[in-house]
Structure 1
Amino acid sequence: MSLDDRSKNILDELVSHPSVTSTTLENKYELTRRQLGYSFNKINDWLQAKNLPVIERTRKGHFIIDQAVFTTLNGEEESELVDPAILNEDQRVYLITMMLLSSQEELSLNHFTAELEVSKNTILSDLKQVQAFLNDYELTIRYSRRAGYVLEGKEFQIRKLLINVTYQLVQMNIGKDRVRKLANIEPAEIEEFKRRIEKVENKLSLKFTDEKLATMPLILILIFRRIEQGHKIQYFSIKYEELSGTKEYQAAQAIFHNYEEVPVQERLFFTLHLLTTNVYWSDYITDNDSSPELLPVIDNMLRLFEKSACIYLQDREQLMEKLQQHIKPAYYRIKYQLTDTIDSQSVMNKEMNELHHLVKRSTGPLADFIGKEIPESETTYITMLIGGWMRRQGESIERKVKAIVVCPQGVSVSKLMFNELRELFPGFVFLDSLSVREFMDYRLDYDLVFSPMSLETEKKLFISKPFLSEEEKYRLRKQVMLELHGYIPNDINVHHLIDIIKNHAVIEDEQALTNDLQSYFERDEEASVKQTLKSRDLHLNELITPDHIKIRQSVSSWEEAIRISAMPLVKNGEVDPEYVDAMIHRTGEDPYIIIGPNIAIPHAAPDEGVNEVGMSLLRLKQGVHFTDDYKINLVFVIAAVDKQQHIHALMQLMQLAGSEADRKRMIEADTVEEIHKILDQYSIEKETEITK
């Protein structure tokens, strides 16, 4: 990401003369307040991308600049702030692509060499790069002596390419004048469309960014030319009703006023262009038009992020508005596959990579809402927004303890261990649960490793069983805290802690605070863990009652085994039939449902048809092949409504899976009653252990 000339000059002025005011900058560079505000936003976006503090502006027009900005920028080379004057390969690729999009005559190698002032060999090499660029749009370059070099592919894809390339070229130093020259566009044409766009702004209370005011006339002119040449969008997957009620459609209608020959699908395409653009106007957030209800989705995203990052985001409503401003156009970009790919590593430093990982893990609600995976570029921008917000409030995951869980016993056990440890250490950022192979190639930075086995690592390693009793949890917590901080939690001196707090905050009632802290640190840790486990009162024998057990000699397939095992849950209404289909589908994606020899726990997500928590069992005497490597005799179907209610029973099942003798007893049992007695045994033993 680079700065345009105007933004670079303003940033240079701010760094050189930090006492300068907004009014002085407006006068010096002949800018309107709006133009200065736009450049100011661009500068802050650029600073955020470099993980630098943003520049704040006071109500009186003065600027507050962090020392880190001065230190960093004074040591940077000029080339980092602005594109060089000499055309590089990327710029030549964009220029060649623009010639292919806009030329009104046949193009030969001579046209390219004359325009770009490079050799034919260079152009031939550049054309290969152009084709690589076009592959993302499913377009190809074709050459013939009669027609020269031309683009081939769907017109919708060509329009996407046209919009992106125009934007990229206008951002470069070569600017819109180079585009105008290449496309042979008269200044009067640009002024005509600028007037139309400005009228739309006034009529509909819209405010396009300066960036869009610069590119939109060029895009409109080039689109009109393609329409006149017969290049029209023949198929448009968006229904008229989806877009016709939006302000953006009204804007498109106003811009196309007096152009009766423009078909409806072309007007809809330009409406989609406006919807996918970060356009801002005064009532943008409050005016819903027919835009999707995004706020609950964004709220769920932020809650997941806060839990993963162990932070509390202040001024959440303001952050949600800022995110909605970005995510509304992103919704349409993602839904209709109009997002351009970017290299996230180019704008991510080490801490941002970890933050990006946590943000990416929290975008599930948005992906579910849109029905598509969130592209990397959209996640990157959301990361930058949240990262900037965290810096404003002095938060950083860099200062938090970051941990990973490495478990060789499969995805299900690994996730269970991950969740248990995250509950045990709520102040740690748990980045991932990994297999040993994934751990060997893991790239994110971390401080601690939890694993049931010894690993080669330079980080602090804590050996932990996948399933811990309350006593084992208590010991592990003490061990970790002693290793990290040099103290056991109960040994904190409250009076020393009060002295530390006094150095940073005003205490209104010191005695009350002392009493509350004393009560907190002297609480019974074992009782706390015990109470948490007692609240999970669903035991294995309670969920798998005799009528939830099926006995068969054999079945013909793994799919049939799941259907028979799930029959009691479907019959009782605990799951819908769709949940069974989801389990079968998911087993193809997750071979790690095998939790022990001869035992599998097929399951799907709670929102795929679970009505209430439940478990059921199919016992197969002869077993069924799950894969060539696994033969299953005990199929435990799990239906979970959340991440908690079934955990207690699942831990009991894991203990059963670890006993070769009891597995064999269940496989050889002749009656449902014999099988349930074994389940009783594990439920009673677990309950006794918990209440010791």
Structure 2
Amino acid sequence: MPLSERDNKILDELIRNPGITSMALEQKYSLTRRQLGYSINKINDWLMSKNLPSIERTRQGHFVIDQSVFTKLDVKDESAPMETAVLTGQQRMQMIIMMLLSSKEELSLNHFTIELDVSKNTVLNDLKDAQTFLNDYDLTIRYSRKFGYLLEGKEFQIRKLLIKITYQILSLHDGERRLKELTRIDAREIAEYNGRIENVENKLNLQFTDEKLATMPYILILILRRIKKGYAINIFSIEYEELSNTKEYQATEEIFRDAEQIPMEERLFITLHLLTTNVYRTEFPTEEDVIPNLMPVIDDMLRLFEKSACIYLQERNQLLDKLLQHLKPAYYRIKYQLSETISLQGSLSTEFKELHHLVKRSIGPLADLIGSSIPDSEVTYITMLIGGWMKRQGESIEKKIKAIVVCPQGVSVSRLMFNELNELFPEFVFLDSLSVREFLNYSFDYDIVFAPTHLETNKKLFIAKAFLGREDKQRLRKQVMLELHGYLPQDLNVDELMEIIRNHATINNEGALAEDLQQYVNRDDDSSVYQRPSKKSINLDDLLTPETILLKNNVVSWEEAVRMGAAPLVESGVITADYVEAMLHYSEEDPYIVIGPNMAIPHASPEDGVNQVGISLLKLDEGVTFSSDYSIHLIIVISAVDKEQHLHALMQLMELAGSEHDRNRLISAGSVDEMYTIIQSYSSD
């Protein structure tokens, strides 16, 4: 969000005169303490978007400003300066759109040329730019001789546009005067609505932000103007029960207490407008102010991020409160499609781009609560909040080893390999699991690569099997640690660690800390490489049942084996016939579906025709030839609806595949019941 004229003045003053106090700033610019605090918050958000440290205030009212802020902003930053008197093309475009949104009369080309004081050709070019901008809103500028220039499209989209353009114009230098002239809004109308809003603050114990106080009267007046002209909001799924018990709904009712002609849909839309921005603070948040389950979801999301980024966030509760303050309005923006579609990634530093990637991977709990995917602009803002918090505590993923997993063996095996390596090396940041093709075009920076086959790379490459047994894990961990650090974790000396900690921190209980460090350093290999899932998982015998196990003496081809093995899942509706064709297609290109001697798992992507998670098994007494290298006796067909549900069962299957004894028992089994007994022995939690 751009800085307002007032914000720019304060930032400029702080850069030129960093010794100035809060009280002196308030007096110089005739500000209340609240107004100054709001501007400092806006400036800090802007600095965060530039990857610069926030400005801090001491209890004595002095400001602490990092040297990098002076260095970066000493030369005028193009995005920070105050607007000049001459309008840019983008600003003229905003003015034209506001005229189309608010005019009480038919608009001709002359209206635009007179208002903007430019030529007709300039206006025509600006109208083309405006149409390009409006394409994102599915809106069109139409011209007719009878009605002049009009804006056409769904009213819901027009309202979104109206709110955005009002904010943009008010953020310009002298924007309030320009907006009044464009819309012909009377100063008495503004004063009337300001009085109503102030009354709402007092009556409902709300405190609107300065930004909202400045924009709300204009937005409400312009919405009412459109309602009176007959432009009704499109019927859309605003949930009355969800919005009607909020303070924002009470505020809407209070503001329009004498306007009976406003339909319920309109009142709900205005309520939604208040809910979708950080429009108020309450001194004492009540239960109804909090969206059910939002705080636990934010907590889950943050824990996933901490695990992915291999960090521990300090003062975590304060960060949770900051995220809650942002995500409450974001919840309504996302749910009712009011988020901006424009990506903010261009303003992210290299490190923040990697953080953005990790945040995006951790955002699942929030998406599940809202019932919708999270727009990238919202993810970007969450990234800025978390990234700024990390920077404040001196934390950075730049110093951590970043790893990727490259696996050509399909979605399920690739995901399994990623999870196992993530557990084996909890101190690494694992960025992604990639196919070979994705690896060749990968854009993020990384330090090491794990893959089951050789790859052309100038980074450290470690060859790892798709399925790692206990000895494989021990061997790989030792190899990687020796290569990267020249030591093994077991070689660490607890006394030396304690001495280092004493030099940098106050230890409340040295005995307990030493004991915990001793247990960690000397832990069993198993504890460092494997963690059982904390939630109830689907076991192998839940999916691979007697009904999905087939025994056959022989088949004539690999294609017949796949079709026959998939038959139980097709017949039960778990997968479609298209999924079978996709498996056959992928197996032609992918010899890595062979996961062990005599054993293969053909599979495809969920979008190829999966209705639900499932596994089937075809056992052949006489193996079928798959390429010139393999004779396959066990064909396991896997259908995965996502990247998670089937993983626990797949890990159990991989454990079975790693046992030569039990794999041979399956091949020589004479009945379905005998095979199922073996499968059950690998299916306990």
Question: Shorter-normalised TM-score: what interval?
Answer: 0.7 to 0.9
Corresponding residue for 1:120? Answer: 120
Corresponding residue for 2:375? Answer: 375
Deviation of residue 619 (structure 1)?
A: 5.5
Corresponding residue for 2:166? Answer: 166
Q: Is contact 1:413–1:466 with CA below 8 Å preserved after alignment?
A: yes
Q: After superposition, what is the alpha-carbon deviation per residue over 1:477-497, rounded to whole angstroms, capped at 9, x for unaligned?
A: 222222222323333355544
Structure 2 distance, partners of 1:403, 1:76, is 39
Q: After superposition, what is the alpha-carbon deviation per residue over 1:352-374, rounded to whole angstroms, capped at 9, x for unaligned?
A: 11111111111111111111110
Letter paired with 1:202: N
Deviation of residue 467 (structure 1)?
A: 1.8
Q: Secondary structure at the match of 2:142?
A: strand
Deviation of residue 167 (structure 1)?
A: 1.1
Corresponding residue for 1:596? Answer: 593
2:240 is the counterpart of 1:240: yes
Deviation of residue 53 (structure 1)?
A: 1.5
Corresponding residue for 2:280? Answer: 280
Corresponding residue for 1:350? Answer: 350
Deviation of residue 560 (structure 1)?
A: 10
Deviation of residue 178 (structure 1)?
A: 0.9
Corresponding residue for 2:259? Answer: 259
Structure 2 distance, partners of 1:584, 1:17, is 72
Corresponding residue for 1:310? Answer: 310
Equivalent position to 2:654, from 632, 651, 655: 651
Corresponding residue for 1:571? Answer: none
Letter paired with 1:596: I
Deviation of residue 96 (structure 1)?
A: 1.2
TM-score by length of 1: 0.83
CA separation of 1:670/1:493 partners in 2, compared to 1, >3 Å: closer, same or farther? Answer: closer
Q: Is contact 2:246–2:289 with CA below 8 Å preserved after alignment?
A: yes
Q: After superposition, what is the alpha-carbon deviation per residue over 1:6-48, rounded to whole angstroms, capped at 9, x for unaligned?
A: 1122122223332322111111110011110110100110111
Letter paired with 1:272: L
Q: After superposition, what is the alpha-carbon deviation per residue over 1:305-363, rounded to whole angstroms, capped at 9, x for unaligned?
A: 11111112222222222212211111111111111122222321111111111111111
Corresponding residue for 1:203? Answer: 203
CA separation of 1:51/1:592 partners in 2, compared to 1, >3 Å: closer, same or farther? Answer: farther
Q: Is contact 2:420–2:530 with CA below 8 Å preserved after alignment?
A: no
Corresponding residue for 1:109? Answer: 109
Structure 2 distance, partners of 1:336, 1:267, is 15
Structure 1 distance, partners of 2:386, 2:450, is 28
Structure 1 distance, partners of 2:44, 2:363, is 24
Q: Is contact 1:566–1:616 with CA below 8 Å preserved after alignment?
A: no
Structure 2 distance, partners of 1:186, 1:157, is 26
Q: Secondary structure at the match of 2:245?
A: coil
Q: Is contact 1:565–1:617 with CA below 8 Å preserved after alignment?
A: no
More off after superposition, 642-651 vs 339-348: 642-651
2:568 is the counterpart of 1:564: yes
Corresponding residue for 1:180? Answer: 180
2:136 is the counterpart of 1:136: yes
CA separation of 1:651/1:538 partners in 2, compared to 1, >3 Å: closer, same or farther? Answer: farther
Letter paired with 2:154: K
Q: Secondary structure at the match of 2:151?
A: strand
Corresponding residue for 1:451? Answer: 451
Q: Secondary structure at the match of 1:312?
A: coil
Structure 2: which 5+ runs fail to align?
595-599, 624-631
Q: Secondary structure at the match of 2:286?
A: coil
Deviation of residue 392 (structure 1)?
A: 2.4
More off after superposition, 465-474 vs 280-289: 280-289
CA separation of 1:316/1:79 partners in 2, compared to 1, >3 Å: closer, same or farther? Answer: closer
Q: Secondary structure at the match of 2:149?
A: strand
Q: Is contact 1:2–1:83 with CA below 8 Å preserved after alignment?
A: no
Letter paired with 1:599: I
CA separation of 1:234/1:465 partners in 2, compared to 1, >3 Å: closer, same or farther? Answer: closer
Structure 1 distance, partners of 2:81, 2:252, is 35
Deviation of residue 537 (structure 1)?
A: 14
1:517-666 equivalences in 2 (<5 Å): 517=517, 520-523=520-523, 525=525, 549-551=549-551, 564-565=568-569, 596=593, 599-600=601-602, 617=617, 634-636=636-638, 645-646=648-649, 648-652=651-655, 655=658
1:81-92 equivalences in 2 (<5 Å): 81-92=81-92
Q: Secondary structure at the match of 2:51?
A: coil
Deviation of residue 599 (structure 1)?
A: 3.2
Deviation of residue 460 (structure 1)?
A: 2.0
Corresponding residue for 1:424? Answer: 424
Structure 2 distance, partners of 1:588, 1:399, is 46
Deviation of residue 414 (structure 1)?
A: 1.1
Letter paired with 1:457: T
Q: Is contact 1:351–1:397 with CA below 8 Å preserved after alignment?
A: yes
Deviation of residue 185 (structure 1)?
A: 1.1
Q: Secondary structure at the match of 1:288?
A: helix
Aligned residues: 657
2:506 is the counterpart of 1:482: no
Q: After superposition, what is the alpha-carbon deviation per residue over 1:125-175, rounded to whole angstroms, capped at 9, x for unaligned?
A: 222221122122221111111111101112122111111111111122241
Structure 1 distance, partners of 2:616, 2:398, is 44
Letter paired with 2:443: R
Q: Is contact 1:411–1:592 with CA below 8 Å preserved after alignment?
A: no
CA separation of 1:262/1:290 partners in 2, compared to 1, >3 Å: closer, same or farther? Answer: farther
Deviation of residue 98 (structure 1)?
A: 0.6
Corresponding residue for 1:229? Answer: 229
CA separation of 1:97/1:78 partners in 2, compared to 1, >3 Å: closer, same or farther? Answer: closer
Q: Is contact 1:582–1:604 with CA below 8 Å preserved after alignment?
A: no
Q: Secondary structure at the match of 1:600?
A: coil
Q: After superposition, what is the alpha-carbon deviation per residue over 1:608-651, rounded to whole angstroms, capped at 9, x for unaligned?
A: 999xx99653569999xxxxxxx995435689997875354232
Structure 1 distance, partners of 2:580, 2:176, is 54
Structure 2 distance, partners of 1:192, 1:410, is 64
Q: Secondary structure at the match of 1:136?
A: helix
Q: Secondary structure at the match of 2:87?
A: coil
CA separation of 1:41/1:361 partners in 2, compared to 1, >3 Å: closer, same or farther? Answer: same
Q: After superposition, what is the alpha-carbon deviation per residue over 1:204-240, rounded to whole angstroms, capped at 9, x for unaligned?
A: 1111111111111111111111112111225242243
More off after superposition, 110-119 vs 591-600: 591-600
Q: Secondary structure at the match of 2:280?
A: coil
Corresponding residue for 2:505? Answer: 505
Q: Is contact 1:540–1:650 with CA below 8 Å preserved after alignment?
A: yes
CA separation of 1:557/1:339 partners in 2, compared to 1, >3 Å: closer, same or farther? Answer: farther
Identity %: 58
Q: Is contact 2:574–2:614 with CA below 8 Å preserved after alignment?
A: no
Corresponding residue for 1:628? Answer: none
Corresponding residue for 1:467? Answer: 467
Structure 2 distance, partners of 1:538, 1:331, is 31
More off after superposition, 263-272 vs 9-18: 9-18
Q: After superposition, what is the alpha-carbon deviation per residue over 1:265-307, rounded to whole angstroms, capped at 9, x for unaligned?
A: 2112111111112122224643425844311111111111111
More off after superposition, 298-307 vs 479-488: 479-488
Q: Secondary structure at the match of 2:101?
A: helix
Q: Secondary structure at the match of 2:334?
A: helix
Structure 2 distance, partners of 1:587, 1:66, is 60
More off after superposition, 290-299 vs 329-338: 290-299
Structure 1 distance, partners of 2:177, 2:392, is 39
Q: Is contact 2:190–2:218 with CA below 8 Å preserved after alignment?
A: yes
Letter paired with 1:564: P
Deviation of residue 527 (structure 1)?
A: 8.2
Structure 1: which 5+ runs fail to align?
568-576, 624-630, 688-692
Deviation of residue 670 (structure 1)?
A: 7.5
Q: After superposition, what is the alpha-carbon deviation per residue over 1:499-551, rounded to whole angstroms, capped at 9, x for unaligned?
A: 43343234567787667645643555478659989xx9999799857676245
